[in-house]
Chains A and B, each alone.
Chain A
Amino acid sequence: MKRIISEVTKVKRRVLTEVARLAFAGNLIQEIDKLPHKLTEEGVRESRCCSYKERAVLSARIGQAMGADLREFNYCTRLSDAARGVLSGAVSPGPGVQVMEVACDRCPIDKYIVTDACRNCTGHFCAAACPRKAIQTIHNKAFIDHQKCVECGLCSKACPFGAILEVSRPCERACPVGAVRPGQKRNAIIDETKCVECGACILACPFGAITDRAQVVSVIQSLINPAKKVVALVAPSLAGQFGPLVSPAQIRAALLRLGFSDVMETALGADAVAAAEAAEFQERLGGDAFITSSCCPAFVNLVQKHFPDLAGHLSTTVSPMIAAAQKIKAAMPDTEVVFIGPCVAKKGEALDHGCGLIDGVLTFEELAAMFVAKEINVAEIQTDRLWAEASTLGRNFAQSGGVAKALAASLPPTVTFSPCLGNGLASCLDLLKQAANGAIEWNFLEGMACIGGCIGGPGALADEKAAVRALEKHANESPWEKPADNPSILGFSLADLHQKK
């Protein structure tokens, strides 16, 4: 069966919508304490043990939707106090991806479990296969001594009945860098020193217990303030995210209706980045064996946290988000810039490398909840306006292979450019390991932490296949094919598009 969104995703989106509705109405503090009860009364359930637990979990979800720091959030926290904290801006930045302790079901930790299918056979293949002598027969059944077990899995393979089951926590399995582990209370814990904020565990947890922090409330606070001008900077992956009937131009019109003063394509920044990175590539190739892309923040985190020796190979070019924000802030310094995309790691990038250029980050999921809260149906918006600020190849940054293609088109044909694609975090990890061993045949690594590129991101709404079709259509509608054809990139000074060391 095709991917159909789960009940837990529906609950999460419902909560986001209700929080956004209150924030737009300006009565968050007065009404938020009643929300968990209101939602359970309306039948929002996630099959927890009792309605008290349902409300406790909903309260944590509401805290997440408001952007509160969940580490400071427990069963005595009043939602109205948390709302006051968020509205006054007194929220600690904290880690981007967090576990909601109350929602975590403390799944089994032991990797191999003997099930009732064990017949205590005469063969005892499991015990014979075990290199650590960890299996004995107790109560007519094989028993694994977990003090001795090294989780090699040989017993499971040896059992002719398939009676030994391999179980692993979905959150741990989803994390290729081993950042999710069981804590003392057996609840999942995220090791911040390892986490690259890709968000794979958020999607993987069947209890919806892992989450990023929404900035819906603070963005709405700026939108409803008539004294503020807020520009929406939208990622190219927006094509197709609001359903098959909706064009990017309609999304643009809906954003203006939501209260944004202007809308800009991040892909314009991508065009400038392609030019800057191509120049950097030519300059550095003499000395360096290879350089890597730097537009995916989770990939940059992966290199910095897990391969610090290779960090020098990262391109110093800023991400398209930062490049585009620089341009907006240079022209209009008093404007706030909100980036909207499918990405969780951009929230951390905005804090760490944003240098005050990015005032907020929303995912497409959060934006859709805001549209619903404001009763804007994007599918019904009429617009005949054409919207083109970026080139075909700039818009294609949103899918795997897109950055490499844009770079190839920006380099002179005499330069040897042999790119290699890291598609998904596991693939990036493999390629970086090869690079660390020095055995590589490529000179450019495009690293994207989500499979398929940004369109496969955790904050995306559309099915990946539908998103690829929509992105290609959107990209091909641009009047310019290559980044260099786009006249707007003349407005960028390429020398300013590098991170200050």
Chain B
Amino acid sequence: MSKKVVEVCLGTSCHLLGASDLLEWLQNGLPQPFKERLDIRGVACLKHCHQGPCLRLDGRLITGASPENLLQELTRVLIAGGQHETNHI
């Protein structure tokens, strides 16, 4: 099964709002069955600096990310087959 790409924005603006802590959480705090199906990367900017912390999950931008809403999104993408209902949360 191909891995889903998660790109965490590590620009200064997102970093100030906790993006690096989110990256650390994705790398070390996720349950193993989730983690092994993800390709987690850091990127320098996702160009949504006013809405951080931002990340892109399977090509889709998530703004104002937190462990709570990420867990919900990851469950949808990895377990429910990843149908896109909306373009934005």
Contact B25 A4 (CB under 8 A): yes
Q: Which among B10, B24, B44 is the interface contact of A463 at CB below 8 angstroms?
A: B24
* Alpha-carbon gap, A378 to B44, bound state (A): 9
Contact B12 A2 (CB under 8 A): no
Asked whether A190 is an interface residue with its Cβ less than 8 Å from the other chain, the reply is no
Contact A379 B45 (CB under 8 A): yes
Contact B12 A4 (CB under 8 A): no
Q: A243-B12, A371-B12, A377-B13 are in contact. Are A2 and B44 (CB under 8 A)?
A: no
Q: A372-B12, A461-B15 are in contact. Are A5 and B44 (CB under 8 A)?
A: no
Which residues from chain A contact B22 at a C-beta distance below 8 Å?
Answer: 4
Q: Which among B29, B42, B66 is the interface contact of A245 at CB below 8 angstroms?
A: B42
Quote the shortest CB–CB distance from B14 to chain A (angstroms). 8
* Alpha-carbon gap, A235 to B23, bound state (A): 25
Contact A13 B20 (CB under 8 A): no
- Count the A-B residue pairs with Cβ separation under 8 angstroms: how many? 78
Q: Which among B10, B16, B24, B66 is the interface contact of A2 at CB below 8 angstroms?
A: B24
Beta-carbon contacts of B20-39 to A below 8 Å, as 1s and 0s? 11111100110000000000
Which residues from chain A contact B16 at a C-beta distance below 8 Å?
Answer: 13, 17, 365, 368-369, 372, 461
Contact B28 A377 (CB under 8 A): no
Asked whether A380 is an interface residue with its Cβ less than 8 Å from the other chain, the reply is yes
Q: Which among A4, A10, A377 is the interface contact of B11 at CB below 8 angstroms?
A: A377
Contact A462 B20 (CB under 8 A): yes
Contact B10 A466 (CB under 8 A): no
Quote the shortest CB–CB distance from B74 to chain A (angstroms). 15
Q: Which among B10, B15, B49, B67 is the interface contact of A1 at CB below 8 angstroms?
A: B67
Asked whether A501 is an interface residue with its Cβ less than 8 Å from the other chain, the reply is no
Residue of A nearest to B28 (CB): A2
Q: Which among B12, B23, B24, B25 is the interface contact of A378 at CB below 8 angstroms?
A: B12
Interface residues of B (CB under 8 A from A): 10-13, 15-25, 28-29, 42, 44-45, 49, 66-67
- Please list the 10 inter-chain residue pairs (A to B) with the smallest Cβ-Cβ separation, ordered nearest first: A5-B18, A379-B44, A243-B15, A243-B10, A377-B11, A368-B16, A372-B13, A2-B25, A371-B12, A243-B20
